[in-house]
């Protein structure tokens, strides 16, 4: 019964001969557990973010090309930070955008006319900002 209350790992130093492989101890440290959890959260947060529309930056030189790449990375890092700190904010933000976009489909379809095929994907891309505070159908200036 004494073996269940006392854990003694067999961690020995390798002998002085050069060997090709030294097996690690059969236990995980606290830092290994924290690092594995943090890396999984970091990679999942990075890979789940898909910005809707890429910016229309056409680089004219190598400096502008570097600026465009830096801008795209910084934008994704910003949203990744928001997602790590407050994941419910991004969920609420996206839900608000989708509900506002669904309200605008009929009005934008009417404005587009019969010759242009219009639906929810076109309305999502035509949305001028990330979240409309009101519906296009309630705006009398467009009629």
**Over residues 79-106, mean pLDDT:** 83
pLDDT at 23: 72
Please list the helix, strand and coil fractions of the chain in percent, rounded to the nearest 5, in that order. 60, 0, 40
pLDDT at 142: 47
Confidence of residue 130 (pLDDT cuts 50, 70, 90): very low
pLDDT at 119: 85
Provide the mean pLDDT of the chain.
Answer: 76
The answer to whether the pTM exceeds 0.85 is: no
Give backbone dihedrals phi and psi of 55, rounded to 5 degrees, phi first. -65, 150
Q: Calculate ∠ Cα 28-34-39, nearest 5°.
A: 115
């Amino acid at each position: 019964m004494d073996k269940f209350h006392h854990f003694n790992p067999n961690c020995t130093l390798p002998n002085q001969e050069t060997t090709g492989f030294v097996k690690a101890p059969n236990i995980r440290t606290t830092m290994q557990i924290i690092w594995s959890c943090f890396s999984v959260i970091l990679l999942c947060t990075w890979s789940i973010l898909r910005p809707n529309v890429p910016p229309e930056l056409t680089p004219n030189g190598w400096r502008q090309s570097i600026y465009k790449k830096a801008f795209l990375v910084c934008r994704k890092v910003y949203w990744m930070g928001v997602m790590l700190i407050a994941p419910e904010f991004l969920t609420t933000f996206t839900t608000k955008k989708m509900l506002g976009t669904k309200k605008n489909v009929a009005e934008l379809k009417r404005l587009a006319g019969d010759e242009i095929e219009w639906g929810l994907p076109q309305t999502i891309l035509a949305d001028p900002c990330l979240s409309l505070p009101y519906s296009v159908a309630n705006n009398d200036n467009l009629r």
